[in-house]
Amino acid sequence: EDQVTQSPEALRLQEGESSSLNCSYTVSGLRGLFWYRQDPGKGPEFLFTLYSAGEEKEKERLKATLTKKESFLHITAPKPEDSATYLCAGGGNTDKLIFGTGTRLQVFP
């Protein structure tokens, strides 16, 4: 059965303290690994798609990487405005997106 697991569930960081969020996946015939950002009371906002192991993508303080079993979202020198829930999702043979339950990130000044 396809599955996506995110860790940790919650992460508290001091402003400027870099860290990584983990997404472990078991998705048959992976076509894409997606990262979304979700602010409270809002819909998820697309960040990145990764298609193959070894691929990396960057946007401002965020960098997403992909291996055959995991994806990482690295946050460098985070700011309070980076506080949000980050969702990972895998799309595979079934052409459905399987979402993880998210990592709730809080960045304190």
Partner 1 sequence: EAQVTQNPRYLITVTGKKLTVTCSQNMNHEYMSWYRQDPGLGLRQIYYSMNVEVTDKGDVPEGYKVSRKEKRNFPLILESPSPNQTSLYFCASSDRGPSDGYTFGSGTRLTVV
Q: Which residues bind partner 1 (CB under 8 A)?
A: 31-32, 34, 36, 41-46, 49, 87, 89, 91, 95-97, 99-102
Give the phi and the psi of residue 28 in degrees, each rounded to 5.
Answer: -65, 130
Instruction: Report the 10 Å Cβ neighbour count for 8.
Output: 12
Is the bond preceding 8 in cis, omega lying within 30 degrees of 0? yes
Minimum CB distance to partner 1, residue 97 (Å): 4
Closer CB to partner 1, 53 or 97, in the complex: 97
Q: Between 24 and 49, whose beta carbon lies closer to partner 1?
A: 49
SS3 label, residue 109: coil
Q: How far is the CB of 44 from partner 1 (least distance, A)?
A: 5
Cα 31 to Cα 9: distance, rounded to the nearest angstrom: 25
Return the number of the residue (78 or 88) whose C-beta is nearest partner 1.
Answer: 88
